[in-house]
Amino acid sequence: MTYTAVFFDAGETLVHPHPTFPDLFARVLRREGHPVDADTVRERIHVVFDRFKQAADTNELWTTSPERSRRFWHEVYGIFLGDLGIAPDEGLIDRVYAEFTDLANYALFEDVPPVLEKLRGAGLKLGVVSNFEEWLEQLLEELGVIGYFEVRVISGLEGLEKPDPRIFRLAMERAGVRPEGSVYVGDNPEFDVGPAAAVGMLPVLIDRRDRFPDADAIRIATMDELPGVLGL
């Protein structure tokens, strides 16, 4: 099969909190007087998975306005803090939220730029389709990769969120490509793999931390494997 376009999720696919979510979260808590280490945070991340699943199951929009984003993430951080035995007071959650909306606290995965360059050099159209706040555009610009993506469909700007099939169709329409020639790369089976497959795209699951060994999808551990999947 010859593909004409590759679309990417953003968070945990192209970009990540720097150095990692657990490290950054633990750093904030220690600064606020709570002696929590990154390994403890990493071990407890699963406690918020149900909140994201609920959002997917009920088509809850949580990135489409600053108010919705703040409310959703405050709830997520509150669940997390409570599980860690820390009183989730509003002031503390505000400071955690501020840390994770600071562009300076994000970085590209190291395997991303060379693969983007290779895909573009092969003549593929590249795009982003992401459940992310409107500031993703600025983040991609700050990180020096916005020029790779001629199509950017960001939920915070469009008012649509994955797993809604319309967000994938909108991206393909703007790119002028068909589903059968389109690939979607993301890190979550529920938000990325299933919905992309449902609209006729080829889904590729990037599973950097081996979270989904039984996923029913093409699965890669690093972005370096993607060109091979595409036959490049």
Residue 58: pLDDT band (50, 70, 90) is confident
Q: How far is 2 from 175, CA to CA, in rounded Å?
A: 16
Q: How far is 37 from 35, CA to CA, in rounded Å?
A: 7
Domain locations in the chain as residue ranges: 5-16+106-229, 19-105
Kindly report the number of other CB atoms within 10 A of residue 188's CB atom. 24
| pLDDT 10s digits, 106-156 | 999 999 999 999 999 999 999 999 999 999 999 999 999 999 999 999 999
Q: How far is 143 from 227, CA to CA, in rounded Å?
A: 22
- The percentage of the chain sitting over the pLDDT mark of 90, rounded to a whole number, equals 84
Q: How far is 138 from 134, CA to CA, in rounded Å?
A: 8
Model pTM score: 0.94
84 pLDDT exceeds 80? Answer: yes
- Name the CATH superfamily for 5-16+106-229: HAD superfamily/HAD-like (3.40.50.1000)
Residue 57: pLDDT band (50, 70, 90) is confident
| pLDDT 10s digits, 204-214 | 999 999 999 99
| pLDDT 10s digits, 160-196 | 999 999 999 999 999 999 999 999 999 999 899 999 9
pLDDT for position 227: 98
CA-nearest of 3, 4, 5, 7 to 130 is 7
Q: Is 175 helix (H, G, I), strand (E, B) or coil?
A: helix
Over residues 73-99, the mean pLDDT reads 91
- Contact between 119 and 229 under an 8 Å Cβ cutoff? The reply is no
- The percentage of the chain sitting over the pLDDT mark of 70, rounded to a whole number, equals 100
pLDDT for position 107: 97
- Contact between 88 and 94 under an 8 Å Cβ cutoff? The reply is no
Over residues 16-27, the mean pLDDT reads 93
Residue 51: pLDDT band (50, 70, 90) is confident
| pLDDT 10s digits, 196-205 | 999 999 999 9
| Residue 153 burial (C-beta neighbours within 10 Å; 0-12, 13-18, 19+) | buried
